[in-house]
Amino acid sequence: MTCKNTTNIAILSIIAVLTITPFAFSNTLAEESKGYKMVGDVSPVLTFTFREGVEVYEFPVFEMGENFAQNSGTSFSVEGTVTKSPLLHKAMDEAYKYRFSNAAFDHQFKYFDVDANFVKGDKSILTLDYNNCRIENYQIETLDSNDYESYFKGVGFAIVDKIDFVCSGVKITNVEKSPSSKTMTDYGSSGFNFANDVKPLATFKFDSGIEKIEFPVFDLISGYQESTDNVVAQFQLEGVLDYYPLLYNAIEKSRQVSGISSASHIDFDVLVEFANSDSTLRGFDFKDCRVSDFEITTQKDKEEGFTGKSGFALVHRLTFTCSGLAPVN
């Protein structure tokens, strides 16, 4: 059986038990979970498929390098406490060894594939399949509180691997299919605390259905300023990573037609309401929108997530550009 064929075995082991498991194949290594506190119980589990074998690691910090919706490049970065990872470390060391070689020169650890599997509890919600990746940069850094507090027993330090990757391509895969008929799905409360119980609710109206999602972060970027230029309406949403079939279909379509002037995006309307338990206090009805920016990143606080004092939040951040907006009062 090839290295690639053992990938699913490694991922299932991580999801099911998150322990070092004695696999039947000696070229597969799955790391023991570090037990990081992840908001929403959403964690990135990365599978590295080298020519020499497969390694699976849980990195609490994952960051896309570019705007995924514009298909402008393929890079990503991860961070995690230093751990035993013989093949990944070998790839780093070989990249350093051959750093002055011609770009066309290939060595045994130069290229590899990476599956970034985002797991919620024991279920995979989304996977980014990166192909033909290589090490772009590698650092080991000590994270602390930026003052003397880390020297106290209850605080501490974190010795962290920071690794940058550049790949030839990436695609999103997931286990859920988009609904075949027009549906209306309300994903319910986000579970976060809001001042005065005022929450932002976004209702996406696609041709194929409606999705209502409570994002904890909303920012109106443009639309109200006075200008002689044609000011478009833009807003941004951010929330803990999850998979929404219709919204992610719009993201993928934006990526596919990026840079093609004659192509059309999946245009849709978005109603954003700011409401408490009693009524809607304010809102915006955005028209003819498209996803203009999308990224998956990690919100973190220096060493505190690594030491267990706090945790990490794996989030998706989406920017929408619309033809206009109508206020709702």
The 3-state secondary structure of 118-162 reads EEECCEEEEEEEEEEEEEEEEEEEEECCCCHHHHCCCCCCEEEEE
3-state secondary structure (DSSP) of residue 277: coil
Residue percentage of the chain with pLDDT more than 90 = 62
Residues in the chain: 329
Tell me if 186 sits within 8 A of 214, measured CB to CB.
Answer: no
Quote the pLDDT of residue 153.
Answer: 75
Q: How confident is the model at residue 133 (pLDDT cuts 50, 70, 90)?
A: very high
Quote the pLDDT of residue 187.
Answer: 95
Tens of pLDDT, residue by residue over 194-225, are 999 999 999 999 999 999 999 999 999 988 86
* Residue 314, C-beta contacts closer than 8 angstroms, at least 6 positions apart: 38, 39, 40, 42, 43, 44, 62, 118, 240, 241, 296, 297, 298
Tell me if 11 sits within 8 A of 48, measured CB to CB.
Answer: no
User: Rounded distance, CA 321 to CA 198, Å?
Assistant: 24
Domains present along the chain, CATH in parentheses: 4-173 (2.30.110), 183-328 (2.30.110)
Q: How confident is the model at residue 175 (pLDDT cuts 50, 70, 90)?
A: low
Residue percentage of the chain with pLDDT more than 70 = 84
Quote the pLDDT of residue 10.
Answer: 45
Q: Considering only CA atoms, which of 311, 285, 286, 315 is closest in space to residue 298? A: 315
User: Rounded distance, CA 43 to CA 78, Å?
Assistant: 12
Residue 32, pLDDT > 50, answer: yes
- Nearest 5°: CA angle at 26, between 25 and 27? 95
Burial class (CB in 10 A: 0-12, 13-18, 19+), 110: middle
Q: How confident is the model at residue 318 (pLDDT cuts 50, 70, 90)?
A: very high
Mean pLDDT score of the chain, rounded to an integer? Answer: 86
> DSSP letter string over 86-130?
HHHHHHHHHHHHTTTS-TT---TTT-EEEEEEEEETTEEEEEEEE
